[in-house]
Amino acid sequence: MHPQQARRLDQLLAGTYGRNPFYTRKFDDAGITVRDLRFPDDLALLPLTTKAELVADQAANPPWGSALSEPIERYTRYCQTSSTSGFPLRWLDTNESWQWLVGCWKAVYRAARVGSGDRIFFPFSFGPFLGFWLAFEAAPQIGALAVPGGGMSSELRLATIEKIGATVVCCTPTYALWLAEVSAASGARLLAESAVRVLIVAGEPGGSIAATRERIERTWGARVIDHHGLSEVGPISFECWESPGGLHVNEDEYVCEVLDPATGNALSDGETGELVVTNLGRTASPLIRYRTGDIVVRRSGPCECGRAWARLDGGILARADDMINIRGVNVYPAAIESAVRQFPEIVEFRSTASRSGAMWELSIEIEPAPEV
């Protein structure tokens, strides 16, 4: 932990204890006296926070839960998680915490070399998830033109990209591949001949998978920059231009740990574990030592880009609940995608895990290209 992180964590805890009912109870139950903590030595004394706890808290204290540090009248923004577990988290922000989040997204744009004069196209409908809104709102603040693409068909989105001369597209990796398919099927001008020079991708592991990245970059003739965040946490990490295939954690704004998912013990650089984060600037609705459920490999040390922040090799490898053990081998969806995407004859694929007695089995269905 850097000295600046330790100082800001002290400030966060001082502003949270006694004001945020959720964390006040949590620290009291753990027997923690916040003012006695010294960082980084005492970081592991802070209890971990889980999504299940937050869901239960919102059920017990509807609709917002008790993990708020400000009077409810000060909150002006609402978002929610994607509800993969069936129970979305509803998350609120004040004007101040919202601008902190926007600032984190501006860091993503800087790493992607996106700025004044760029035309950023957003080919998605604006749902209640944080990333959509932050990326869109941060664009004008860096001097770029923000162009919404909600409510459009894929064909119309492609036409819009062409007509406005979009230079940047923000989307998921699979949607970037899908747009390439639609473009090829329509007989339109090759995407590689468009003005698009950067695709910022998120929402799926594909952006840091070499085979998927190469396919997107080849069909679009543009650079792929991966990004990762969570609605309840914020924009956490991003890829730099100089060293593809990994994500820098924004350690100016987050404390990052990698723990053994089973024991909660800290892991060393190069070991695979669960990413645990503390957001230092979302002070109105903070998350302290939050178990993200993301499986990563952390590396420390300087990067070619000049950043000394921790780097997540290979990006987000999987979700903790996505891993299965097949005949003694831990298998992650990202590893399957990495293998399949190496074959240009395969357009798309679907992997299915099922049990045969006590054993897991994995089957993969592929969609071949029309000419195959």
pLDDT digits (tens, 9 = 90+) for 151-196: 999 999 999 999 999 999 999 999 999 999 999 988 877 899 999 9
Give the other-Cβ count within 10 Å of 107's Cβ: 18
Residue 346's alpha-carbon distances to 51, 215, 368, 369, in angstroms, are 37, 11, 5, 6
3-state secondary structure of 172: coil
Q: Which of 18, 266, 9 is nearest to 27 (CA)?
A: 18
DSSP state letter for 49? B
Q: How many Å apart are CA 263 and CA 99, to the nearest integer?
A: 36
- Rounded CA separation 300/291 (Å): 20
Task: Give me the pLDDT at residue 340, please.
Answer: 73
The domain 48-325 is placed in CATH, from the list 3.40.50.1010, 3.40.50.12780, 2.20.130.10, 3.40.50.720, at 3.40.50.12780
Task: Please state the φ and ψ torsions of residue 230, each to the nearest 5 degrees.
Answer: -135, 140
Give the pLDDT confidence of 191-217 residue by residue, as tens digits: 999 999 999 999 888 888 888 999 999
The pLDDT assigned to 324 comes to: 64
* Residue 62 pLDDT grade (very low, low, confident, very high; cuts 50, 70, 90): very high
pLDDT value for 190: 83
pLDDT of residue 179: 95
In this structure, what DSSP letter does residue 113 have? T
Q: How far apart are CA 14 and CA 36, in angstroms?
A: 11
Nearest Cα neighbor of 123 from 163, 152, 162, 159 is 152
pLDDT at residue 298 in the model: 95
User: Which pTM does this prediction carry?
Assistant: 0.86
> Any idea what the Cα angle at residue 131 is, between residues 125 and 135, rounded to 5°?
85
Nearest to 20 by CA among 70, 81, 82: 70
- Res 329: pLDDT: 57
Residue 82 has pLDDT above 90, yes or no: no
Q: 368 near 346, Cβ under 8 Å?
A: yes
Compute the distance between CA of residue 73 and CA of residue 70 in angstroms, rounded to an integer. 8
Q: How many CB atoms lie within 10 A of CB 255?
A: 23
Tokens 């740990």 correspond to 257
Mean pLDDT of 89-108: 98
Q: What digits encode the pLDDT tens for the residues 290-326?
A: 999 999 999 998 999 999 999 999 999 888 776 665 6
Task: Give the integer Cα–Cα distance in Å for 235 and 131.
Answer: 7
Domain ranges for the chain, please list them. Answer: 48-325, 326-368
Bridge partners (DSSP) listed for residue 273: 296
User: Parallel, antiparallel, or unpaired: how do β-strands 119-122 and 168-171 relate?
Assistant: parallel
Strands 198-201 and 168-171, by their bridges, are parallel
Residue range 115-127, pLDDT digits in tens: 999 999 999 888 8
Q: What per-residue confidence (pLDDT) applies to 344?
A: 73
- Region 31-44: mean pLDDT is 93
pLDDT tens readout for residues 318-369 = 887 766 656 555 666 666 766 776 777 777 778 777 766 555 677 888 788 7
Q: What is the pLDDT of residue 210?
A: 87
Confidence of residue 107 (pLDDT cuts 50, 70, 90): very high
pLDDT at 369: 73
Nearest to 283 by CA among 5, 16, 4: 16
Cα separation, 95 vs 74, whole angstroms: 8
pLDDT value of residue 155: 96
